[in-house]
């Protein structure tokens, strides 16, 4: 399509593009302009990430032959440059923090136009509270808690999607926009009254320093494997740390256990220590004596680290670059290793 005014016109993909942590994704953006009116060398392409309605982070800028990536995007971003008018950006080794909205801005000396691309991640939401108990985290502590468990604070869109898939959780948690919400699929009296509708219920935007809630965290594919360590006897928490270490691994974080349950279909009816000192186990196929009728990661709370004895869930990173050996605890035949190869099919 040709714009009569000589203005620059930008077109981006409708909807969103989807990948997972560790994947490679193209943010599509094309532009056209009146070639007779503008010198191609004067066209500037700029990608930014929209953090809030009023705050942006620079991602990538190109003008003529010059290219520049910023911050955490250095070394893993490039333009696709598929013919004239292509401003599409390639992002490699996608991180949890890459999730969100991007603006593609094309400027000549006088005119500019922008388009927006949403980058979505395949993954899993997990509610979280620390050993201190329920409703002990302000917004900043909730951010830290998710990071410590290999996640980020979830977005409203991610929580809504989890609710559509059946998530039901009776404790309100912080989301990345500073709101506090909780998803209800089965209204009941102990959860804000039985006669209220299903949905994601909101407390609105809360004071980020003074008010305390739980957190809803989001995580995505693992570049590695979570497994229940076979040991001769049950272990205290310090012994569990040592046992994973001896096995060339670390005690799994809560987010890693959730990712293994959701994406690698880890199913184990054995209670084990995880990194934050809680006891959990992942169930894909619910059965008698394995904690309820729903699939999920069961949480048995935070016992005494020194005197209570359990198994342990370890996390082993995929070996960098070397061919996978059986001893690496490689995924079962026929299942692709997450974070490697093609993006997950949506």
In this structure, of 51-55, 150-154, 180-184, 326-330, the range with the lowest mean pLDDT score is 326-330
Would you place residue 196 in the very low, low, confident or very high pLDDT band (cuts 50, 70, 90)? Answer: confident
Q: 101 in a domain, yes or no?
A: yes
Q: Give me the CATH number covering residue 15.
A: 2.60.40.10
Cα separation, 221 vs 77, in Å, equals: 20
Average pLDDT rounded to a whole number, residues 55-70: 94
192 occurs within a structural domain: yes
pLDDT at 190: 80
Distance of CA 237 to the CA centre of its chain: 28
Whether 256 is covered by a domain: the verdict is yes
Centre a 10 Å sphere on the Cβ of residue 280 and count the other Cβ atoms it contains.
23
- In tens, the pLDDT along 298-315 reads 999 999 999 999 999 999
Instruction: Let me know whether 140 and 113 are in one domain.
Output: no
Is residue 332 in some structural domain? no
Alpha-carbon distance 101 to 118, whole Å? 4
The count of other CB atoms within 10 Å of the CB of residue 146 is: 27
Single residue among 219, 253, 286 that ends a domain in this structure: 219
Q: Same domain for 110 and 38? A: yes
Which of the pair, 35 or 59, is modelled with greater confidence? 59
Q: Are residues 127 and 27 in the same domain?
A: no
pLDDT band at 53 (very low <50, low <70, confident <90, very high): confident
Residue 81 above 70 pLDDT? yes
Shared domain check, 60 and 112: yes
Q: Show which of 219, 254, 271 is a domain's final residue.
A: 219
| Domain match, 131 and 209 both | yes
Mark whether 135 and 110 lie in a shared domain. no
| Domain range for 17 | 9-121
pLDDT at 329: 39
Confidence of residue 135 (pLDDT cuts 50, 70, 90): very high
Domains of the chain: total: 3
Same domain (yes/no): 300, 231:
yes
Is the pLDDT at 340 greater than 70, yes or no? no
Q: Are residues 193 and 237 in the same domain?
A: no
Domain shared by 155 and 170, yes or no: yes
**CATH code for the domain of 289:** 3.10.100.10
| 133 and 103 fall within a common domain | no
Instruction: Identify whether 331 is part of a domain.
Output: no
- 19 within 8 A of 92, measured Cβ to Cβ: no
On the question of pLDDT at 15 being above 90, the answer is no
Structural domain contains residue 187: yes
Query: Do 22 and 106 share a domain, yes or no?
Result: yes
Q: What is the mean pLDDT of the chain?
A: 88
């Amino acid at each position: 399509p040709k714009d009569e005014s000589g203005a620059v016109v930008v077109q981006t993909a409708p909807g969103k593009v989807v990948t997972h942590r560790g994947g490679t994704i193209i943010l599509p953006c094309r532009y056209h302009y009146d070639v007779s009116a503008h010198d191609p060398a004067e066209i500037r392409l700029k990608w930014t990430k929209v953090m809030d309605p009023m705050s942006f982070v620079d991602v990538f800028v190109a003008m003529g032959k010059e290219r520049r990536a910023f911050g955490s995007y250095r070394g893993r971003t490039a333009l696709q440059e598929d013919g004239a008018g292509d401003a599409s950006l390639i992002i490699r080794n996608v991180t949890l923090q890459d999730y969100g909205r991007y603006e593609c801005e094309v400027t000549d000396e006088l005119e500019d136009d922008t388009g927006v691309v949403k980058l979505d991640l395949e993954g899993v939401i997990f509610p979280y509270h620390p050993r201190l108990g329920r409703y002990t985290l302000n917004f900043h502590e909730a951010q830290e808690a998710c990071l410590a468990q290999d996640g980020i604070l979830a977005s409203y869109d991610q929580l809504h999607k989890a609710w559509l898939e059946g998530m039901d959780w009776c404790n309100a948690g912080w989301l990345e926009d500073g709101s506090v919400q909780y998803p209800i699929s089965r209204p009941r009296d102990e959860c804000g009254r039985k006669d209220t509708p299903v949905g994601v219920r909101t407390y609105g935007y809360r004071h980020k320093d003074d008010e305390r809630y739980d957190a809803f965290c989001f995580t995505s594919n693992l570049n590695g494997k979570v497994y229940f360590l076979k040991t001769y006897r049950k272990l205290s928490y310090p012994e569990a740390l040592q046992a994973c270490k001896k096995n060339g691994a670390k005690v799994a974080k809560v987010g890693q256990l959730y990712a293994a349950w959701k994406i690698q279909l880890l199913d184990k009816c054995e209670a084990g220590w995880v990194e934050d000192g809680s006891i959990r186990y992942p169930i894909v196929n619910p059965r008698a004596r394995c904690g309820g009728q729903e699939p999920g990661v069961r949480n048995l709370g935070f016992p005494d680290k020194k005197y209570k004895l359990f198994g342990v869930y370890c996390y082993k990173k995929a070996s960098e670059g070397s061919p996978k050996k059986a001893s690496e605890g490689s995924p079962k035949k026929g299942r692709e290793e997450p974070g490697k190869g093609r993006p997950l099919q949506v």
